[in-house]
Structure 1
Amino acid sequence: MARFTENRWTSAIIPALLIHIPIGTVYCWSVFKQLIAGRLHASPASVEWGFSLAIFFLGMSAAFAGPMVEKNIKKSALVSMVCFVVGFAGTGVSIALNFLPGVFICY
């Protein structure tokens, strides 16, 4: 019986599905922006900058971290996971503290 990691379908499909979780959170911003704006007592237009910044830095990280991914995929996956978790937690804390700049920095 083949090990789980030796099956190319599971070693390709599972990471492909897992990568959609952080990408999906960026595109869910339009669903949550009204709630976040209400919680932070800010206008939805000012909260919209969070999405713009996230898309900008998503593209920049893909452009500049590409060579790192090619050299060591495991290290780049670990770094991206840590950044995602810290950013997600930081966004939640910033929303709880009503700190809009913190949302922009962490998201």
Structure 2
Amino acid sequence: MSDRAPVLSLRGVTRTYPTARGGLIVLKGVDLDIFPGEIVGLIGPSGSGKSSLLHAAGLLERPTSGEILIEGEAVGSLDERARTRLRLGKIGFVYQFHHLLPEFDARDNV
């Protein structure tokens, strides 16, 4: 790969959603490194955990366990305000479908 440091690292990330029958494990011990300049695509069948992985990596949801590092810094203990600032400055998404927020006007959605 590269001897440069990754801009995004996931270490042992697990995501479990509560259900009536217990927990539904969607991610189990995911390790991932993304390096500067890399373009990464996630493919897999519906329900395989792609969105859960992106939501955890993008700091939109907290993983059940594991660690997420942005430019080498662990971000798991950040409060929501700090996570939002980090998303604004360091993280971007290109969704397959747009996700406009109805409570915001057009400018705020952009």
More strand by percentage: 2
Normalized against structure 2, the TM-score is what?
0.21
Normalized against structure 1, the TM-score is what?
0.21
**Larger relative contact order (C-alpha < 8 A, sep ≥ 6)?**
2
Rg larger for: 1
